[in-house]
Amino acid sequence: MRIISKLFFVSNFVISKITRKQIWKKVRQKIGNIPHLSIDWDDLTDRFIEPVIWVVDHFADSLGKIFVSLVWLLIQFVVGVAYWIGLSFYWNISAELTIALVIFGHWILLNVVFHYYMALITSPGRPSDAEQIPHIKARCKKCQSVKPERTHHCSICKTCILRMDHHCPWLNNCVGHFNHRYFFLFMAYVVLGMIFLFIFGAPVIVHELSISDASEPIGYPVFHNGSHLLPVKQVEEVSPPRSRSLRRAVSVTVAILCAGILAALGALVGWHARLISRGETSIENLTNKDDREAKRREGSAFVNPYDYGSYENWRIFLGLSEGRTWWCVFFPSVHPPRGDGISWCFKNDLTHVSFK
């Protein structure tokens, strides 16, 4: 999990200058232990970070739009291939099975599209005006806005974000208090969709790769379509060699693509699930890690004030309150998260605020 955490933050290190400094501090500590190695870390850091920051500051919005377009294109491509190749394959085996797979697959697709779209258009949350929350005295040094607990400044959005997790280029948006649930469930349903495609797509790929490219069959080979034995010649008349080659290439391409998505998002979903269970955001995971180590050296245990136990942490994250049940997780729902993202309960001071 530590490796996944470091890889994730290296790819998204532009989320805040605080995070970038912490990452470089870790790197400097590790390499600095090597004997007889003298490095001007300030100069090295400036030389490496400044051009990257310049690119991000000038092109982040354009790159984000490109990434968002790629996500929509990937969804359409994978679904289109499933209809083109997979639907006909299973229809020849069993109409009832095909209908069941179509219903289940569209349930996954509905959740993927819904949660991605909501993560795109939902504001992660920004602090209110100082007049509305006069009890908050902290101020952001960059934008001078009120800075409640768990709020961080995003250098790309150029504003403070409530309970900021990170800035996601694939959303062209920050992930914060009000859209974190959409972001996580989008990834979770994509992973479920990839598993679904691997399980029911494997027979399709084996079938596509097993069809001979020979224009003239030798002897009397047959093809079993699930219910009948058909001569290879009959199959070839239906699917010309050129069409078969295209179907085969597309099938392999989708398989490789899905494998990469499953590996990347599967690891990310697992890591975020761990953070949610501990009541942390991605940024807090870095800061709390240092505090845990400091407490460990002191011989005491670190206590996260926002950790209410795994079960309650998930209920808070998923917004399961006011009579809402877990069905809100399995079907699209636009309900807001618990709390306003400004005030937070503490374990030893539950009267501080009541979750809505």
> Is 99 inside any structural domain?
yes
pLDDT digits (tens, 9 = 90+) for 203-230: 999 988 887 554 444 455 665 666 666 6
Which one-letter DSSP state was computed for residue 139? B
282-298 and 241-277 helices, crossing angle to 10°: 40
Q: Which stretch, 28-37, 142-151, 196-205, 288-297, has highest mean pLDDT? A: 196-205
Q: Which residue has the higher pLDDT, 194 or 144?
A: 194
C-beta of residue 224 within 8 angstroms of C-beta of residue 92: no
Asked if the structure places residue 229 within a domain, the reply is no
- In angstroms, how far is CA 300 from the centroid of its own chain? 34
Question: pLDDT class for 177, splitting at 50, 70, 90?
Answer: very high
Instruction: Tell whether the model's pLDDT for residue 39 goes beyond 80.
Output: no
Q: Among 261, 306, 262, which Cα is nearest to 285's?
A: 306
Q: How far apart are CA 204 and CA 216, in angstroms?
A: 23
The answer to whether residue 355 is domain-embedded is no
- Of 180, 24, 193, 39, nearest to 104 (Cα)? 193
Total tally of structural domains belonging to the chain: 1
What's the whole-number mean pLDDT along residues 228-253?
68
> Does 3 have pLDDT greater than 60?
no
Max mean pLDDT range (20-34, 91-105, 128-142, 147-161): 91-105
- Predicted local confidence at residue 55, as pLDDT: 67
Supply the angle between the helices 2-11 and 241-277 in degrees, to the nearest 10. Answer: 110
pLDDT at 16: 47
What percentage of the chain has pLDDT greater than the value 70? 71
Inside any domain, residue 76: yes
Tokens 């999990």, located at residue: 1
User: 173 pairs with which residues across the strands?
Assistant: 168
- The predicted pLDDT at position 317 comes to 93
Which region among 11-20, 67-76, 178-187, 299-308 has the lowest average model confidence (pLDDT)? 11-20
At 222 the pLDDT is 60
Q: Which residues are CB-contacts of 169 (< 8 A; sequence separation ≥ 6)?
A: 12, 60, 63, 64, 67
- Asked whether residue 54 is domain-assigned, the answer is yes
In one-letter notation, the amino acid at residue 301 is A
Band (234; pLDDT cuts 50, 70, 90): very low
Residues 55, 187, 148, 319, Cα dihedral to 10°: 160
Residues 266, 258, 121, 334, CA torsion sign:
negative
* Cα diameter, the chain: 87
- How far apart CA 126 and CA 151 sit, in angstroms, is 9
Report residue 259 as tokens. Answer: 């494998």
> What's residue 334's pLDDT?
94
**167 part of a folded domain:** no
pLDDT tens by residue, 270-301: 999 999 999 999 999 888 888 888 888 888 88
Residue 300: its pLDDT value, please? 86
Active-site residue, 143 included: no
Task: Specify the pLDDT at position 56.
Answer: 61
Its domain, for residue 106, covers 40-125+179-213+242-349
Average pLDDT, the chain: 80
Q: How far is CA 3 from CA 31, 108, 230, 278, in A?
A: 17, 29, 52, 18
CA–CA separation, 25 and 8 (whole Å) = 17
Specify the 3-state DSSP secondary structure of 245: helix
pLDDT of residue 58: 65
- Check 157, 160, 168, 345 and give the catalytic one: 168
Evaluate whether 173 touches 154 at the Cβ level (below 8 Å). no
Whether residue 71 is contained in a domain is answered as yes
Q: Can you tell me the mean pLDDT for 120-125? A: 94
Of 1 and 313, the structure prediction assigns the larger pLDDT to 313
The verdict on residue 311 lying in a domain is yes
pLDDT tens figures, 309-347: 999 999 999 998 777 888 889 999 999 888 888 887 644
